[in-house]
Amino acid sequence: MVLSFTTAQVGCQKEGEWFGPIQPPVPPEQPASFANTYLIGCEGNFQYGNASLTAFYPDSGRVDNQVFERANGYGPGDVLQSMLQIDSLVYLVMNNSGLIRVISAKDYREVRVLDGLNSPRYAVALNGNRLAVSSFGGGAVHVIDRRTGALEHSVKTVDWTEQLYLLSDRLYAVGKSDSTLIVIDTATLTNTGAFHLGGDPIQAAVWDGAIYVGVLRASGLRIVRFTDDSYTLTMEYATGVNDLSFSDQGITLLTADSLLLFDWDGTYIHGSAHDLQTPYSLYTDDALVIATDVLDYLSKGRIEVYDQNLKRIEAHETGLIPQAILHIQQP
């Protein structure tokens, strides 16, 4: 199953070596609850424990910063890496804190803490109340009980794994440390092999019965489509890319000065210039496109919001280093 693309690897560092002041505590207060909500997870500065959560309500154009602190009286911890919603709960994966905070999707109050993890990065729900969690430095994808945090199984992988995706009876894990797409059998929880990508995998998605992976190479970006044991190169883009996102609309690229939309087969559709100082991450769905700006990594960040045609709607201030974005689904 090992397929190779020979090229030099290009890194895409998302955490860096930026440090900043610890933010003062925010007094607890009951946040407003809105039906249509996007949560923006702000990483904060590494080792400073100043991650935060911003809520964006597009129907009213309102943004509330530090909603976790206001609901609970304390911050979520050190480096908010990713978020996942399961039913009425949101799981905040806190990388450097080594834990996952579970909060209510309605009022952001903490329900439980899943502790004792090794630099968790991303999580995905499995059947039977299980949660698969990737890690930095753990050498495994861990399977835990999402109600108690108890470790149920460890699937041996490369040292650094990132995003996780389910398709049929397989769990795909992005292997960051060796540029692979790892295939795990969900029935036996065994590592069955890997596709070698030949570059730095930055994003992936499940669409139309296949896994699509964006890979940064010295020559630019490649989009590769994997089905079972075969692959197809669907798109190449030679200019630098900060991030990308997949949606039903197609593949959207975030570059130093623009947003560019391509069809799933790599055909260019249209683009738009942005005003971001330091483009960082990108989120797309069937309604909105949201790009984040980390400015100097020490100041409060911001988001720019666009419609499906990449027309700019609004911009808002967020917490430090906005990165992960989750559209809350009402259970």
> Closest Cα partner for 137 from 163, 174, 82, 176?
176
Q: Name the phi and psi angles at 70, rounded to 5.
A: -70, -30
Percentage, residues of the chain above pLDDT 70 = 90
Q: Lowest mean pLDDT: which of 1-15, 44-58, 232-246, 285-299? A: 1-15
pLDDT at 216 over 80: yes
Expressed in angstroms, the distance from the first to the final Cα of the chain is 39
Q: Any alpha helices (H) in the chain, and if so which ranges?
A: 67-72
- 8 A C-beta contact, residue 110 and residue 76: no
pLDDT at residue number 257:
97
pLDDT at residue number 59:
95
Give the pLDDT mean for 285-302. Answer: 97
Q: Lowest mean pLDDT: which of 1-15, 218-232, 233-247, 249-263? A: 1-15
Q: Lowest mean pLDDT: which of 19-33, 136-150, 176-190, 195-209? A: 19-33
Amino acid letter for position 93:
V
Percent of the chain as helix, strand, coil, to the nearest 5: 0, 55, 45
Q: Lowest mean pLDDT: which of 24-28, 80-84, 182-186, 242-246? A: 24-28
Write down the residue that tokens 């702000």 correspond to: 42
The number of residues in the chain equals 331
Alpha-carbon dihedral 111, 117, 121, 124, rounded to 10 degrees: -60
208: left (phi over 0), alpha (psi -120 to 50) or beta: left
How many CA atoms lie within 13 Å of 119's alpha carbon, on the beta-carbon side? 12
Q: Name the phi and psi angles at 258, rounded to 5.
A: -145, 165
What b-and-e string marks burial along 67-80, b requiring 16 or more CB atoms within 10 Å of the CB? Answer: bbbbbbeebbbbbb
pLDDT at residue number 9:
35
Q: Please state, as a whole number, how many other Cβ atoms lie within 10 Å of the Cβ of residue 231.
A: 18
**Strands 230-237 and 289-293, sheet pairing:** unpaired
Distances (CA, A) of 323 to 142, 232, 264: 23, 29, 24
Task: For residue range 79-135, list pLDDT tens digits in order.
Answer: 999 999 999 999 999 999 999 999 999 999 999 999 999 999 999 999 989 999 999
Q: Cα(278)–Cα(25) distance, rounded to whole angstroms?
A: 27
Q: Cα(263)–Cα(223) distance, rounded to whole angstroms?
A: 12
Task: Kindly give, in sequence order, each residue whose CB lies less than 8 Å from that of residue 127, ignoring residues fewer than 6 positions away.
Answer: none
pTM above 0.85, yes or no: yes
User: What are the extents of the domains in the chain?
Assistant: 38-327
Q: Lowest mean pLDDT: which of 18-27, 152-161, 196-205, 215-224? A: 18-27
- The CATH code for residues 38-327 is 2.130.10.10
Task: For residue range 237-251, list pLDDT tens digits in order.
Answer: 998 999 999 999 999
Percentage, residues of the chain above pLDDT 90 = 85
Output the average pLDDT for the chain.
90
- 8 A C-beta contact, residue 75 and residue 92: no
- The whole-angstrom distance between residue 213's C-alpha and the CA centroid of its chain comes to 14
Q: Which H or E run contains 185?
A: strand 180-185
Please provide the DSSP assignment of 262-300 as one string.
Answer: E-TTS-EEEEEE---SSEEEEEE-SS-EEEEE-TTSSSE
Give the pLDDT mean for 264-289. Answer: 96
Burial class (CB in 10 A: 0-12, 13-18, 19+), 311: exposed
91 token code pair = 């799981």
Burial class (CB in 10 A: 0-12, 13-18, 19+), 245: buried
- 8 A C-beta contact, residue 184 and residue 193: no
pLDDT at residue number 231:
87
